[in-house]
Amino acid sequence: MLEEFKYLGEELAYEVVVENTNKVADMVEDFLPIPNETFPPVIEGSDTELREMCYNKAKRIYGDPMPEVVKKRLDRELNSIISNGYAVMYIIAQKLVTKSLADGYLVGSRGSVGSSLAATMSDITEVNPLPAHYICENEDCKYSYFYAVGEWGSGVDLPDKDCPKCGRKLKKDGHDIPFEVFLGFEGDKEPDIDLNFSGSYQPVIHKYTEELFGEGHVYRAGTIGTVADKTAYGYAKKYVEENDLDVPSAEVLRLAKGCTGVKRTSGQHPGGVMVIPNYKEVYDITPIQYPANDVNCGVITTHFDYHSISGRILKLDILGHDVPTIIRMIEDITGLDATTIPLDDKETMSIFTSTEALGVTPEEINCPIGSLAIPEFGTSFVRQMLLDTKPTTFAELVRISGLSHGTDVWLNNAQDLVVDKVVEFKDVISTRDDIMNYLLFKGLPPKMAFTIMENVRKGKGLKPEFIEEMNKHNVPQWYVDSCQKIKYMFPKAHAVAYVMMSFRLAYYKVHYPAAFYATYFTTKAQDFDADLIVGGLDSIKQKINEIHELGNDATAKDKTMLTVLEVALEMYARKIKIIPVDIYKSDATKFIVVDDSTILPPMIALQGVGENAAINIQKERENGEFISKEDLRKRTKISKTVVETLSNHGSLNDMSEKNQLSLF
């Protein structure tokens, strides 16, 4: 630049180019685009409201006065929660859950909040983190017995017992989870509350959050989509092809590498809702925007992504999940309230190690155990783990849940330790909580134990000072190595919540098979090929083999199709069949249980029939029979491809092409 300004003369050029620019730079004051403080929402009286709500429920369950363990735990938690300003978060979450339940949609527990008894006592989670215990539900008795921390992995595994005071059968609960996993030792962790809502209900509850805090104070967190490896490679390859360049493949890779990481689009966070307190404006924190491809969907997102504004304002994670949808539907069909299902049912437990309870042989379903279609337990990886570990208790399922999520947790890590007999299955690291508990047991300072746990669960490995401290306290080498390998790890609370739900679904699978498959396929209707599956065992088996033969060439679509087919195979082996789609009787999107051995698929289950088409048919058939294919197409506005699909499947019987009347 000095060169450019040479015409001013050396001295003046230096002043203009170097000195003055610096002066201008110095005049600009430093300021942060996003302030570095926290702005929690304030709701008058939420501290006392939370305290009272928790005490009330605790007393209702455990009696008044509360047992010492309960009171101590609750007080310790509430003091930490309230002094760190998180009471509002609990109160809001509680309101959301209440609203959803009132509207008939069960809420699934999720995340680290299950580590908080206050959360259990304010209905935010159904996970009870107290140590294993018995409690008598008799109002006039309320006998309770608590085991020590560490004695039982889960209270539901306790042997059945009658109340020594009144004789009533005791309830068993308590999953033995430390509170600090959620909030840390000094409240310095930024926790969020995660909740699983039914996918179809998620928009409603997002709107409700806005009602609670007022318009202009609630926004969906935005995300930033970038050009990642595959897209970058696609760009580079297309560029080379379109320009007829003859370059080595290394050059294509080099070009691709240059494109990766470039911001491409904005997106919506799966469930993150950011709350702006009433004494602030959004613009104090972040610009806002519509989603990239739709200004009319009613959603406004933050322009900055969650990560860059986290820690400053409150975030609720209101996620959509299929399990609440499934439970809702299966309760409607069977009339059985899922929360009443015993979590120690022997038959249900047995499907995690055998097919017997399903009434089929391993050969028939091509799988030695019965966990297909059970969320997070049905993939071939987890099935193999179940075969290797043969769980018989709830607590073991929880450990398996922990071990089966995250890279280098089981394979290349815990599994080797068990196989090489370095440690037993019960001693390997299966959840975050294991790490903190063990390090505390070994005598590490609490803060350090917590920090190590947080680093390991995020896959950050161990810093030298951590290893030094661990060595000082005689933490064995295998433990240090194991921590170093872990890339991600569940909190126990999350594993417990998910196992509870999976176990309930397993119960339905054993005892209400038709309802189970109907609900399962309803959530997978998009990947369900009714035309193929009505063909029965033979056509299912054939397609499964075809996909297997594809090997590594199988696309993502083939893989999802395979999962559905495996379940369909099992369903047929259990003597339940699918009948053809019926344009008058089939629902648009739901599978209908006709009787114990027959399921009627929805119209959407035909490949090529979209949701709109299916809904239109369902609506229009109320206005009378379709007299011809032409009539069907005109009245429902479906395309001729859809009509053909229906016709080929046999859903239109002998319906004529044109209206008969038009012939005259």
Ligand X SMILES: Nc1nc2c(ncn2[C@H]2C[C@H](O)[C@@H](COP(=O)(O)OP(=O)(O)OP(=O)(O)O)O2)c(=O)[nH]1
> Is there binding between residue 269 and ligand X (CB under 6 A)?
no
Contact partner, 17, from Mg ion, DNA, ligand X, none, Cβ < 5-8 Å per class: none
For ligand X, which residue of 277, 375, 491, 601 counts as binding (CB under 6 A)? 491
| Token representation of residue 529 | 């090929």
Three-state secondary-structure class, residue 661: helix
Residues 303 to 332: which contact ligand X by CB under 6 A?
317
In the complex with ligand X, which residue's Cβ is closer, 432 or 590? 432
Instruction: Pick the stretch among 108-116, 292-300, 394-402, 506-514 that binds ligand X (CB under 6 A).
Output: 108-116
Residue number with CB closer to Mg ion (194 or 531): 194
Q: Is 478 in the site for ligand X (CB under 6 A)?
A: no
Q: Which stretch binds DNA (CB under 7 A): 54-62, 151-159, 165-173, 319-327?
A: 319-327
Only one of the segments 4-12, 47-55, 408-416, 510-518 lies at the binding site for DNA (rule: CB under 7 A); that segment is: 408-416
Residue 340: CB atoms within 10 Å? 7
363 binds DNA (CB under 7 A): no
> What residues between 153 and 192 interact with ligand X by CB under 6 A?
182, 191-192
Is the bond leading into 65 cis (omega within 30 degrees of zero)?
Answer: yes
**547: which residues sit within 8 A by CB, 6+ positions away?**
554, 558, 559, 561, 562, 565
Site for ligand X in 625-664 (CB under 6 A): none
Q: Alpha-carbon distance 3 to 14, whole Å?
A: 10
* 8 Å CB contact between 605 and 599: no
With binding defined as CB under 7 A, does residue 20 bind DNA? no
Closest CA to 373 of 540, 197, 570, 200: 570
Q: Count of CB atoms within 10 A of residue 421's CB?
A: 7
Strands (DSSP E) contained in 561-653 are 577-578, 592-595, 598-600
535 near 560, Cβ under 8 Å?
no
Binding positions for Mg ion, 95-124, rule CB under 5 A? 111-112
Taking the C-alpha atoms of residue 264 and residue 289, their distance in angstroms, rounded to an integer, is: 15
Spatial CB neighbours of 420, under 8 Å, sequence gap ≥ 6:
none
Specify the DSSP class assigned to residue 162: B
Q: Is 294 within 8 Å of 214 (Cβ atoms)?
A: no
Segment contacting DNA by CB under 7 A, of 53-61, 77-85, 94-102, 635-643 = 635-643
Binding stretches for Zn ion (CB under 5 A) = 136, 138, 141, 143, 163, 165-166, 168
194 binds ligand X (CB under 6 A): yes
Stretch that binds Mg ion, among 22-30, 130-138, 191-199, 295-303 (CB under 5 A): 191-199
Half-sphere exposure of 642 (CA within 13 A, CB side): 21
Q: What are the Cα distances from residue 139, in Å, to 20, 65, 130, 605?
A: 82, 13, 21, 50
Contact residue for ligand X among 111, 153, 155, 272 (CB under 6 A): 111
Contact between 375 and ligand X per CB under 6 A: no
Contact between 450 and ligand X (CB under 6 A)? no
Please report whether residue 194 would count as binding Mg ion according to CB under 5 A: yes
Identify residue 492 by its one-letter amino acid code.
K
Question: Which tokens is 638 given?
Answer: 């479906």
Q: What does the block give as tokens for 232?
A: 């970058």
Q: Is 271 in the site for ligand X (CB under 6 A)?
A: no
Paired tokens of 231? 């897209």
* SS3 call for 38: coil
Instruction: Please give the structure tokens belonging to residue 25.
Output: 């730079």
User: In the complex, what is the shortest distance from the CB of residue 138 to ligand X, in angstroms, rounded to a whole number?
Assistant: 35
Candidate list 345, 376, 481, 630; residue touching DNA; CB under 7 A: 376
Residues 386-405 that bind ligand X (CB under 6 A): 405
Name which of 138 and 308 has its Cβ closer to Zn ion: 138
What six digits make up the tokens of 38?
């926290």
**Residue 165 contact among Mg ion, Zn ion, DNA, none, beta carbon within 5 to 8 Å by kind:** Zn ion
Amino acid letter, residue 105: Y
Q: Which stretch binds DNA (CB under 7 A): 35-43, 115-123, 444-452, 545-553?
A: 545-553
Q: Is 620 in the site for ligand X (CB under 6 A)?
A: no
Please give the size of the binding site for Mg ion, defined by CB under 5 A. Answer: 4
**CA 51, CA 48: separation in Å to the nearest integer?**
5
182 lies in the binding site for Mg ion (CB under 5 A): no
Residue 432 contacts Mg ion per CB under 5 A: no
Phi/psi for 525 (5° steps) reads -55, -35
* Distance between CA atoms of residues 504 and 66, nearest Å: 30
Site size for ligand X (CB under 6 A): 13
Contacts of 46 (CB under 8 A, 6+ apart): 87, 88, 90, 91
Q: Cα–Cα distance between 540 and 534 in angstroms, integer? A: 9
Instruction: Find the binder of DNA among 80, 100, 202, 350 (CB under 7 A).
Output: 202
Count Cβ atoms below 10 Å from residue 283 Cβ, excluding itself: 9
* Binding residue (CB under 6 A) for ligand X from 86, 213, 410, 490: 490
Q: From the CB of residue 580, how many other CB atoms can be counted at a distance below 10 Å?
A: 14
Stretch that binds Mg ion, among 115-123, 125-133, 190-198, 558-566 (CB under 5 A): 190-198
- Does 47 engage in binding with Mg ion (CB under 5 A)? no
Is 628 a residue that touches DNA (CB under 7 A)?
Answer: no
461 binds, among ligand X, Mg ion, DNA, none (CB under 5 to 8 A by kind): none
Length of the chain: 664
Instruction: Find which of ligand X, Zn ion, Mg ion, none residue 494 binds, CB within 5 to 8 Å per kind.
Output: ligand X
**Residue 121: CB minimum distance to Zn ion, A:** 21
Count of residues in contact with DNA, rule CB under 7 A: 73
Is residue 266 within the footprint of DNA (CB under 7 A)?
yes
Tokens of 662: 């038009």
Instruction: List the single partner that 55 binds among DNA, Zn ion, ligand X, none, CB under 5 to 8 Å by kind.
Output: none
Interface residues toward ligand X, by CB under 6 A: 110-112, 182, 191-192, 194, 317, 405, 488, 490-491, 494
Interface residues toward Mg ion, by CB under 5 A: 111-112, 192, 194
